[in-house]
């Protein structure tokens, strides 16, 4: 990796049925950075994430993860990223541990010691041998982050990770993300439509509306620069919702 950019996105564009849903999106995520990807529903957040992960084909643009081009060097690129896109899915009839073990089997370098380490990191030691169907939504989110962490990626992408969580669950996820970024230098890209969550969880923010990047910078600087950022975002939300 030549620079300290873990993720480099350049000129991503995607059309569906003649309508542009992601329009020339470019940005970078640095090592240990927690980037908030902020925008209303329908703004293009999930489509952008899916293109980064090659889950959908980009009409134009390119993505590099740890210096590897996702199109040309997919295996080397994708082994450096973990992700939860929308709601994490599990084998509900199996325990949390067995779900992690199934994923670990796909990565020969992941040993049992790493599984135990991840279980401690996400705070599921006491419940890891319970069936997942008995887990709360917050526990499933933590298990999902644990699953994404197993192969020690440099970047983790989370799509609306606090959706549907109660205040306690939101706080737990927020603290876990901050801890991983500071202590293990894991970079995060976190999509959300909630400005308050981005402010409390992220070091920098990227605001998207109607598929276009509207504003980007450090969270504290943007808030200081524009004390009416909440109003700005509400206006963006209303405009975007009228067009989706």
Higher pLDDT, 95 or 241: 95
170 band by pLDDT with thresholds 50, 70 and 90: confident
Long-range CB contacts for residues 237-242, cutoff 8 Å, separation at least 24:
237/40, 237/193, 237/209, 239/209, 239/210, 240/39, 240/40, 240/42, 240/43, 240/209, 240/210, 241/40, 241/41, 241/42
Dist. CA 88–CA 220, nearest whole Å: 30
pLDDT tens by residue, 57-86: 999 999 999 999 999 999 999 999 999 987
Residue 148 has pLDDT above 50, yes or no: yes
225 band by pLDDT with thresholds 50, 70 and 90: low
C-alpha torsion sign, points 101, 178, 215, 64: negative
Taking the model in full, what pTM does it have? 0.86
């Amino acid at each position: 990796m030549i620079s300290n950019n873990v993720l480099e996105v350049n000129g991503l564009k995607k059309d569906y049925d003649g309508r542009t849903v992601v329009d020339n999106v470019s940005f970078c995520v640095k090592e240990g950075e927690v980037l908030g990807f902020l925008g209303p529903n329908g703004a293009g957040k999930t489509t952008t994430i899916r293109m980064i992960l090659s889950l959908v084909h980009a009409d134009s643009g390119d993505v590099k993860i740890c210096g590897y081009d996702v199109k040309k060097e997919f295996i080397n690129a994708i082994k450096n990223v973990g992700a939860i896109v929308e709601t994490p899915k599990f084998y509900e009839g199996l325990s949390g541990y067995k779900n992690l073990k199934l994923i670990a089997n796909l990565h020969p370098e992941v040993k049992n010691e790493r599984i135990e380490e991840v279980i401690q990191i996400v705070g599921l030691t006491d419940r890891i041998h319970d069936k997942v169907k008995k887990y709360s939504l917050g526990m499933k989110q933590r298990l999902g982050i644990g699953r994404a962490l197993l192969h020690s990626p440099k970047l983790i992408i989370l799509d609306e990770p606090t959706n549907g969580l109660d205040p306690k669950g939101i706080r737990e996820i927020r603290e876990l993300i901050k801890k991983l970024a500071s202590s293990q230098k894991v970079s995060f890209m976190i999509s959300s439509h909630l400005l308050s969550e981005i402010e409390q969880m992220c070091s920098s923010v990227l605001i998207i509306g109607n598929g276009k990047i509207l504003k980007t910078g450090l969270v504290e600087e943007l808030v200081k620069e524009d004390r009416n950022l909440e109003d700005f975002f509400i206006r963006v939300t209303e405009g975007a919702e009228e067009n989706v």
